[in-house]
Structure 1
Amino acid sequence: MHRRTRLAAGLAVLATALTATTATASTPPLPGNHSVAPVYAKAETPALFDDDAGNNSNADDPAIWYNSARPGSSLVLGTAKEGGLDVYRLDGSLLQSLPAPSAPAAGSAPGRFNNVDVLTGVRFPDGRRSDVAVVTDRGRDRVRFYRIDANRPAAPLTEVTDAAVPRAFSATEADVDDQYTAYGTAAWRDPRTGRSYLLASRRHTADVGLFEIRVTRTGTVTYQKVRTLTLPSTFRTPGGSWSPCEDPGNGPQIEGLTVDAARGVAYLGQEDVGIWKISANLTGTPELVDRTDQFGVPAVYDPVSDECVAGADPGYGGDHLVADAEGLTLFRAPSGRQYLIASSQGDYTYSVYDTSRGDRWTGAFRVASGPSIDGSEETDGIAATGQALGTAFPHGLFVAQDGYNAPASGDDGDRTDTNYKLVDLSDVLRAAGVR
């Protein structure tokens, strides 16, 4: 979610603490935290434009598909909202583009692909196991599936979504157009049972659903809801109780999701609140791992400005995440330790947590502008892997959505221009002090 200005009182404070940067002469100055160590992208994907001329395409969330037979031919998948799902080579070039569904009727919302993850080792009726891309269609409130075939290098993804796939959250098709629909996602296979699952959050709410993924006899893929969890929307603080300020009728939503299948643990990014940890099957009590800077700050929605106007900061928030807390991803470092990376969208940085040591914060980094590739700002989704990906990324890969791709486009630089940045994971480890 691209975050509009919400906390008017906090912006003045932020402006004094942060310096501005320009990626190119045509890019307007943007706020950002430049006190953390920089890394630089080795590759980037083509620009996407969120207008009619650009097919209403908008980069949001990436995933990395690891080609075990030919690691150098691994792929980056990226959602493009109404533009569908794009498939990129490791040099950032576009390999394949799969469209989102059109609107089923006049006045209805079209397909709008929000988040993507990769589920490995799905058994199909033809006797083969294949990896599958799992995509939330926020526009139609479905989850869609794409079988990945390394033997089809020119067009490796094929849609296998069952025609009768159910709505994820909406009771009726009319409810779908209200867009309280499937948003973030994470998919995994339970190592104990062999069953496959996905988590999907619900837009504009604090709800997360657990769904079991099933392959039909004809080779299509569907799912069935197991349960729903609603994260807290009101919190006790030393000053009383606090609720995040949202537009009327909305709750503090979750988008970033990632699952540690071996431990059966999920991490959930509640945008205004922080990062939660809970059992991946959505049982037990959620634990708040880290809070955003906005946590506990009183704010009131102003209908005239369509913003939340904040009061004085009582100091209950965290030190590492500047709201919104967005994309989450897990990776394993050469040391064998597992780390969680979180997008701190408000200051254009990424925080790293050691999940092998009680989710302790270990450091932060930013993707800065280099000689030929600009940095990343206002990042939504991220992905990382510690596996070697051939000669392109021999030490692993980090991918970040860039909400302000440079140079700015249009007569006044007013075309929404987004893409994905590809960074060597070893640079991330050094910048964040991780081993």
Structure 2
Amino acid sequence: MRALILLAALAGPALAAPPLPPAQANDAAALPDGGWLTIDRHALTLQDADGQTAATLPLRARQLDTRTDRATTLAVVVDANQERVQPLLVRDGRLAPWPAVPAPGFGIETACLYRDAQRLDHLFMVGKDGQAEQWLLGAQGHRIVRRLALPPHVKHCRVDDASATLFVAEEGFGLWAYGADAEGPPQRQALGLVGPQGALKAGPGALVTLPGGVAVVDGDDVLAWRRVGQGWQVQPRRPLEAGTKALAVRGATLLARGKAGWRSVALDWAAPPAAPAPLAVVTPRAQTEPVARAGDAADDPAIWRHATDPGAARILGTNKKQGLLVYDLQGRQTQLLESGRLNNVDVRQNVAFGAERFDLAIATQRDENSIVVFTIDAAGQVAEAARLPTPLAEIYGACLYQPAGGGLQAFVNDKDGRYLHYRIERGERDGGRFGATLLRSFRTATQPEGCVADDASGTLFVGEEKRGLWVTPADAARAAPLRMVLPVGGVLTADVEGMGLYRGKERSYLVVSSQGNNSYVVLDAQPPYRVHGAFRIGIAAAAGIDGASETDGLDVTSADLGGPYTQGLLVVQDGYKRLPDGPQNFKYVAWADVVAALRLP
């Protein structure tokens, strides 16, 4: 049974009512030492636990919000004269302003803070017409993360950090919940609307977050919502003093400011269950230049290793609106091959066809439902070599298999679940052209995409987007039914997307994109396929690189590529480019960072 928190004045001889903010304060934030940070018409004021003024900052301010970390509090207010947000630190009885956030180009109606799972501080600024921006704050400077569209006439906002939920109060219309995490698609839920079918009577006013929910002023009442699963449950109304314009929380006490000043308000509140431990976070070491098309364009990467110079490795990445891109290890684009709507790409090196040897890549071409073959020369230059037709109606994913006996084989799939297994050939009698011979076919019940073959063990790993991860022999002579080794649910969240194989000297790992929760699952690449955990890719703030989300394709190598990649490199497609907004790209992660985050053996 969950405990009940009583957000109220606690009466009785043993418990004294908490100190209230000054009556003249238009807004207030409780500080951990018992003091208050308040704003009125003329200044921002720091008051100690004894009610004495410790510091003031002359400022015509509004929209106060804070986050506290041990003995330091970060605060933001809107400077009403300058029409910009002023951050500052509250520490040791002093107010220390940070550089102001650049004016966003629209009048700021409200602003609020968000502290993410990495303990990075973000700021939301919202305009009267619904324009909004999210910024990453820092003592040495601030960076825009993204622009977003919110409802018009938003007068108040607050963020629940634990659930990464941005609450906005649209004047006269309703209370909305949005996703505060910039890595991902927009999310919106209506908690309460004004009107006969809604819970609100007068429309939402001031907001305050509660553990697992939010409270809002609605006319002369306070109304609260508690999160229940993926939805919200409205709580009974509690009366307020007429003219209440602000809410605050100190400890287990809800405070409201009416015409007569501040007072406590009784509100029974069910504490949420303990949240699961957050996933480990690794940060990218580099990112590629964005692709040259907007929207859902970048899809799948593959890694090519230079024979003698680790730092000269190349990353091949598909742009499914344009062709094949080639990048160096610094993320700079070195080539663009306009090969059409390519989806998945894979690479194998030193492939033997009789006396000839090639480094080859293949990609699926969705306009022609064909396999495109590319050669890669010793310097990493890529060239299109052949297009091999298939009978598939909607060709989609692909991966390569290099048998120990030589040659090259390819698996390609269709959105209807069909897999075709081809042997790639190079004929001597037809001018040395590449061709393909079908070896077998099989299928998954629903849509697949990602797959990867372990050349050493002869195992093929197949991802079925809504169901999970399967294995089967990669060798057509040992064909066997697919066997499920990791179903969706628990650590793996649909869609199951890209996957790559890290071939270590002592053990190998499979990395799978768990697209539904923006994470990456790592498991052994040999039976019993033990799962070692999952991680997310977060913001590398100092480098100005955003995290990764909604990853379609990925690739990983154990090769020593020098620099931070001596233990290998993981490359992932990023579904939402932020910091700032832009076309999609690929992120580079040092495998050593994954090892440290998951404590891999």
TM-score (norm 1): 0.72
Secondary structure of residue in 1 paired with 2:386: coil
Q: Tell me how many residue pairs correspond in the alignment.
A: 335
2:459 is the alignment partner of 1:220: no
Alignment of 1:39-78 (within 5 A): 39-48=282-291, 50-51=293-294, 58-78=297-317
8 Å CA contact 2:353, 2:407 repeated in 1: no
8 Å CA contact 2:569, 2:588 repeated in 1: yes
Secondary structure of residue in 2 paired with 1:118: strand
* Aligned counterpart in structure 2 of residue 319 of structure 1, from 490, 493, 509: 490
Measured after TM superposition, the shift of residue 34 of structure 1 is 8.4
Runs (4+) of structure 1 exceeding 6 A deviation are 18-23, 31-34
Residue type matched to 2:357 in 1? R
* Aligned counterpart in structure 2 of residue 269 of structure 1, from 451, 460, 463: 463
8 Å CA contact 1:363, 1:434 repeated in 2: no
Residue type matched to 2:468 in 1? G
* Aligned counterpart in structure 2 of residue 257 of structure 1, from 441, 451, 469: 451
8 Å CA contact 2:327, 2:333 repeated in 1: yes
Mark the CA change 1:207 to 1:117 in structure 2 (over 3 Å): closer, same or farther.
same
Which residue of structure 2 aligns with residue 366 of structure 1? 536
User: Could you tell me how far apart the structure 2 residues matched to 1:274 and 1:57 are?
Assistant: 23
Which residue of structure 2 aligns with residue 210 of structure 1? 421
Cα deviation per residue 1:291-313 (whole Å; 9 max; x = unaligned)? 11xxxxxxxxxxxxxxxxxxxxx
Which residue of structure 2 aligns with residue 168 of structure 1? 390
Measured after TM superposition, the shift of residue 49 of structure 1 is 5.0
2:511 is the alignment partner of 1:341: yes
In structure 1, list runs of 5 or more residues that go unmatched.
1-17, 101-110, 171-179, 234-251, 293-317, 410-414
Which residue of structure 1 aligns with residue 330 of structure 2? 91
Q: Which has the higher helix share?
A: 1
User: Could you tell me how far apart the structure 2 residues matched to 1:158 and 1:115 are?
Assistant: 17
Which residue of structure 1 aligns with residue 348 of structure 2? 119
8 Å CA contact 1:58, 1:80 repeated in 2: yes
Which residue of structure 2 aligns with residue 352 of structure 1? 522
In structure 2, list runs of 5 or more residues that go unmatched.
1-115, 123-133, 137-143, 149-179, 185-275
User: Could you tell me how far apart the structure 2 residues matched to 1:404 and 1:49 are?
Assistant: 14
Measured after TM superposition, the shift of residue 343 of structure 1 is 0.3
Alignment of 1:110-259 (within 5 A): 111-123=340-352, 127-151=355-379, 156-161=381-386, 165=388, 167-170=389-392, 180-191=393-404, 193-202=405-414, 204-217=415-428, 218-231=431-444, 233=445, 252-259=446-453
8 Å CA contact 1:395, 1:426 repeated in 2: yes
Tell which deviates more after alignment, 255-264 or 385-394: 385-394
Which residue of structure 1 aligns with residue 239 of structure 2? none
* Aligned counterpart in structure 2 of residue 288 of structure 1, from 475, 484, 504: 484
User: Could you tell me how far apart the structure 1 residues matched to 2:369 and 2:580 are?
Assistant: 32
Taking CA–CA contacts closer than 8 Å with sequence separation of 6 or more, which of the two structures ends up with the larger relative contact order? 1
Tell which deviates more after alignment, 273-282 or 214-223: 214-223
Mark the CA change 1:394 to 1:44 in structure 2 (over 3 Å): closer, same or farther.
same
Mark the CA change 1:343 to 1:27 in structure 2 (over 3 Å): closer, same or farther.
farther
TM-score (norm 2): 0.53
Alignment of 1:373-412 (within 5 A): 373-407=545-579, 409=581
Secondary structure of residue in 1 paired with 2:358: strand
Cα deviation per residue 1:43-101 (whole Å; 9 max; x = unaligned)? 101112544xxxx881100000111221211111100112100010001100111112x
Residue type matched to 1:139 in 2? D
8 Å CA contact 2:352, 2:406 repeated in 1: no
Residue type matched to 1:160 in 2? A
8 Å CA contact 1:73, 1:390 repeated in 2: no
8 Å CA contact 1:330, 1:339 repeated in 2: yes
User: Could you tell me how far apart the structure 2 residues matched to 1:353 and 1:322 are?
Assistant: 15
Mark the CA change 1:374 to 1:25 in structure 2 (over 3 Å): closer, same or farther.
closer
Report the aligned-residue RMSD. Answer: 2.4
8 Å CA contact 1:160, 1:219 repeated in 2: no
Q: Which has the higher strand share?
A: 2
User: Could you tell me how far apart the structure 2 residues matched to 1:369 and 1:132 are?
Assistant: 34
User: Could you tell me how far apart the structure 2 residues matched to 1:27 and 1:377 are?
Assistant: 17
Alignment of 1:405-424 (within 5 A): 405-407=577-579, 409=581, 417-424=583-590
Mark the CA change 1:254 to 1:182 in structure 2 (over 3 Å): closer, same or farther.
same
Secondary structure of residue in 1 paired with 2:368: coil
Cα deviation per residue 1:92-134 (whole Å; 9 max; x = unaligned)? 100111112xxxxxxxxxx310000012223468x54121011
User: Could you tell me how far apart the structure 2 residues matched to 1:27 and 1:19 are?
Assistant: 21
Secondary structure of residue in 2 paired with 1:26: strand
Tell which deviates more after alignment, 340-349 or 23-32: 23-32
Secondary structure of residue in 2 paired with 1:255: strand
Q: Percent identity?
A: 32
8 Å CA contact 2:145, 2:578 repeated in 1: no
Tell which deviates more after alignment, 352-361 or 26-35: 26-35
Secondary structure of residue in 2 paired with 1:198: strand
Mark the CA change 1:344 to 1:34 in structure 2 (over 3 Å): closer, same or farther.
farther
Residue type matched to 1:158 in 2? A
User: Could you tell me how far apart the structure 2 residues matched to 1:256 and 1:57 are?
Assistant: 17
2:278 is the alignment partner of 1:35: yes
Residue type matched to 1:352 in 2? V
8 Å CA contact 1:120, 1:188 repeated in 2: no
8 Å CA contact 1:72, 1:392 repeated in 2: no
Secondary structure of residue in 1 paired with 2:436: strand
8 Å CA contact 1:343, 1:380 repeated in 2: yes
User: Could you tell me how far apart the structure 2 residues matched to 1:96 and 1:226 are?
Assistant: 33
Residue type matched to 2:460 in 1? A
Q: Looking at CA atoms only, which structure, 1 or 2, has the larger radius of gyration?
A: 2
User: Could you tell me how far apart the structure 2 residues matched to 1:399 and 1:340 are?
Assistant: 14
